[in-house]
Structure 1
């Protein structure tokens, strides 16, 4: 990771959760925030790890993976500029519950976990914002679990690609077969078949991990209704607290 001196307020405020804080509360956080860069594929935490740092993404995207038996995984959420990694510290949890992997490289504001826990305890405005955000994470995880149990892989892949598109605000991004297999909890051959089916329908173009969504409306039609539910949960408004 690369570190920089405390950047100006505007740069930290590219994270929407931080931007939702009253200006005076954000100003008190600034001296405790460092700007860091994270690389694609970087593992920020594993289940059971102490939560040493809190990350507020600016332009990176972090995948949250549930892990079974140390090797089987399923994506249960994503964290982009709308949120933070380590929100459960606000609920008193001191260890990570998921594997957090950087899906797209970029920058984030980072804060010491213990300092953040103390800040939450003293700051009602921050508490209110975080409680709403953790509720949205739970809603996403529940719906993804339902989707993974009851819906076919092609629809699940469409849902995952659309959610990623929304987070990145781009029709073009890079996701390897291996990453998608880990995220969807399936074998790589299953991802290949599902991606090929979507490509044959003219909905996406997928080559060497480079994905371009050609028909967002058609892809939404190919997805299950879970996409709308997950999108609404992930886009839960985090408004400033008076």
Structure 2
């Protein structure tokens, strides 16, 4: 793990980056592992290198719903910049991989010692809040097929591959819909030659076609991230 490959860490000045990484430890992201539990104190922050993490809300009498996705472009634990250590969601490893991990107390001290790090974590939190607002609107107004196409594109972006492991049960959990709805939507994408899905293994066959099928929230989400990350503070 000699290269960080986490985009947030790579944005730090070289000297700050070196100091910060000296405080971190390499950590493997194991598929389906819960990194945080709703209402529990965060013990660590995570900066994915490969693999990705879903933020999942549990609502009484309703299926769980994904409200955010964290890959190499971001971090899990940005709310610690507000001195908060409790979260309203579960953080679930959706794609196996590796990351840098740092203890909560150590990260807070590092932000006090390194203003550039604190500024970057603040920006990461702002982006996530905007993206979660967009995700809420998407879940409310867009049909399952468009949302599935968007979710697959987001997963592919973070998997850095055209194929990855995912079950229909997991997708239904992420989208907050019944499995039968996911089955039909995935079948439609297969019939159009956009994806291939067999026994939990999904392959994107036509990325351009999948982008055309996805709702506008996919491009809006990327634009939002790029705009806020480049904005002057």
| SS in structure 1 at match of 2:41 | coil
Aligned counterpart, 1:133: 124
| SS in structure 1 at match of 2:220 | helix
Partners of 1:133 and 1:196 lie apart in 2 by 36
Partners of 1:105 and 1:236 lie apart in 2 by 28
Q: How many residues align?
A: 231
What is the alpha-carbon root mean square deviation over aligned residues? 1.9
Partners of 2:101 and 2:61 lie apart in 1 by 27
Q: C-alpha deviations, 1:87-139, integer Å up to 9, x for none?
A: 11012211123211111111111111011112213321012211221121112
Partners of 2:144 and 2:203 lie apart in 1 by 19
Specify which of 62, 66, 72 is matched with residue 81 of structure 1: 72
Moved over 2 A (4+): 69-72, 231-239
Partners of 1:164 and 1:233 lie apart in 2 by 17
Listed as ranges, the gaps of 5+ residues in structure 1 are 1-6
Partners of 1:127 and 1:191 lie apart in 2 by 40
Is 1:44 aligned to 2:44, yes or no? no
What is the deviation of 1:169? 2.4
Is 1:166 aligned to 2:157, yes or no? yes
Specify which of 132, 137, 147 is matched with residue 156 of structure 1: 147
Aligned counterpart, 2:166: 175
TM-score (norm 2): 0.92
Match runs of 1:202-217 below 5 Å: 202-217=193-208
TM-score (norm 1): 0.89
What is the deviation of 1:31? 2.9
